[in-house]
Amino acid sequence: MRRPLELYIHIPFCVRKCLYCDFLSQPAGEMVQHGYVEQLLAEIDRESGYYQEYGVVSVYLGGGTPSILPAEDIRAILDKVRACFFLEPGAEITIEANPGTANLDKLKAFADSGINRISLGLQSADDRELKTLGRIHTFEDFLKSYQRVRLAGFSNVNVDLMSALPGQTLASWKSTLRKVLMLKPEHISAYSLMIEEGTPFYGKYHDHPELLPSEDEEREMYYATREILKEHGFERYEISNYALAGFECRHNIGYWTGVEYLGLGLGSSSYLQGFRFRNEPDLEAYRKIDFRSDDADWRLHQDIAELTERDRIEEFMILGLRMTRGVSGSEFLKRFGQNMWNVYSGVIPKLVENGLLEVESPYIRLTDFGMDVSNYVLSEFLFDR
């Protein structure tokens, strides 16, 4: 039995930076992109040597916009993964894609290279809202891309959506949900807009929140999401993620349940053997690393931190409670050798009494009310709050 491992592979390139985006991504020419892929292949070759006792259960190509790379580069990355790691049969392999960045031939090549799940970034079905976000596509562009995805043979498709946008109304959000549901995707991720420091949106909206939907309007959108998706057979399995039965994102479930993961590529994060670390975030510095040299590891890995048992317990609770199934007291005992009810003797009963948690032994989970105020509930599981 091999230890399960997830791989996250970062492709830090996009056609144009969206106005709300604080991800590690940037536009770049073909030569820069190809040079990056060559460096990524060298990193995979080197790093894999440390993890031969693992079996890779999922691969996630994220960004940026991985779908802007040529199909042969994506194939080269996945061929290198297969050559260097033990890829478990039936592993979930996801690529993020934006409308207009992949024609039918490229999508077919993605499928031929072993990708079996695709995540399409729509955000909104309203062209005015898309323009406000700085997206490069229209809803019509998305529809064409979605059709190509299906023609290429993909039967596991996620659509990313975003609510609480500038100028968005409850009616326009419901319209976005219904238009997407007509397409019958298998998975929908629905997040609220976050105004992140360092983005153009921060300068425009941080000091002028009146330009955004009010808290009451945002809450109405949140409730509408849950109700409308449930009517169409989507099960909410995490605070912001909904899926038809059997199509939950296995890679993300791994994050929430403590499966070890290795980040490959610029700025990617890892959690392995009780340690967290991240890769070099500067593109030029990353490109200068010689992965054949003895000093490659210390040049690549930064912010290395060993998690204490308290850290691991907090993460187990906070990440696990994001999922609607909750956390298991039996699993807690297995991992930490302690009784979960004893460790949180002052927290769990209080939250149950206040209607924020419910118990179905051996699980505890957030109630609907608890989901509504999840930030507060989850913060209660921090030891030094």
pLDDT digits (tens, 9 = 90+) for 324-343: 999 999 999 999 999 999 99
Q: What average pLDDT does the segment 20-30 reach?
A: 93
Residue 379 has pLDDT above 70, yes or no: yes
3-state secondary structure of 235: strand
> Is the CA virtual torsion 364, 370, 375, 380 positive or negative?
negative
Q: What is the pLDDT of residue 304?
A: 96
Alpha helices (H) in 124-232, listed in sequence order: 127-133, 139-151, 170-181, 200-205, 215-231
pLDDT, tens digit, for every residue of 171-207?
999 999 999 999 999 999 999 999 999 999 998 998 8
- Name the average pLDDT for the chain: 96
Handedness of CA 142, 221, 322, 280 (dihedral sign): positive
Spatial contact of 278 and 269, defined as CB atoms under 8 Å apart: yes
Judge whether residue 145 has pLDDT over 90: yes
- For the cut 80, the answer to whether the pLDDT of residue 385 exceeds it is no
**Per-residue pLDDT band at 253 (split at 50, 70, 90):** very high
Here the tokens at position 315 are 């993460």
Token pair, residue 299, equals 């040049």
Query: How much is the pLDDT for 1?
Result: 81
Tokens of residue 210, six digits: 């009146």
In Å, how far are 37, 140, 270, 304 from 12, measured between CA atoms? Answer: 11, 26, 17, 22
Identify which of 375, 378, 376 has the alpha carbon closest to the alpha carbon of residue 365. 378
Q: What is the per-residue pLDDT across 335-378, written as a single tens digit (0 to 9) for each?
A: 999 999 999 999 999 999 999 999 998 999 999 999 999 999 99
Average pLDDT over residues 126-139: 96
Angle between the N-to-C axes of helices 71-84 and 104-112, in degrees from 0 to 180, rounded to the nearest 10? 10
Sheet holding 117-123, edge to edge: 235-238, 241-243, 187-192, 157-163, 117-123, 86-97, 54-63, 3-11, 260-264, 269-272, 275-279, 301-306
Say what the pLDDT of residue 297 is. 92
- Collect all residues with Cβ–Cβ distance below 8 Å to 5 and sequence separation of at least 6: 51, 54, 55, 56, 57, 85, 259, 260, 261, 262
Check pLDDT > 90 for residue 96.
Answer: yes
Bridge-based pairing of strands 357-360 and 363-366 is: antiparallel
CA separation for the pair 177, 170 (Å, rounded) = 11
- Residue count of the chain, please give it: 385
**What mean pLDDT comes out for the span 265-278?**
96
CA 347 to chain CA mean position, Å: 29
Label residue 101 by pLDDT band (50, 70, 90).
very high
Interacting residues of 268 by C-beta distance below 8 A, sequence separation 6+: 8, 9, 10, 278, 279
Per-residue pLDDT reduced to its tens digit, 30-67: 999 999 999 999 999 999 999 999 999 999 999 999 99
Q: What structural domains does the chain harbor? A: 3-254 (3.20.20.70), 313-318+326-379 (1.10.10)
Judge whether residue 102 has pLDDT over 90: yes
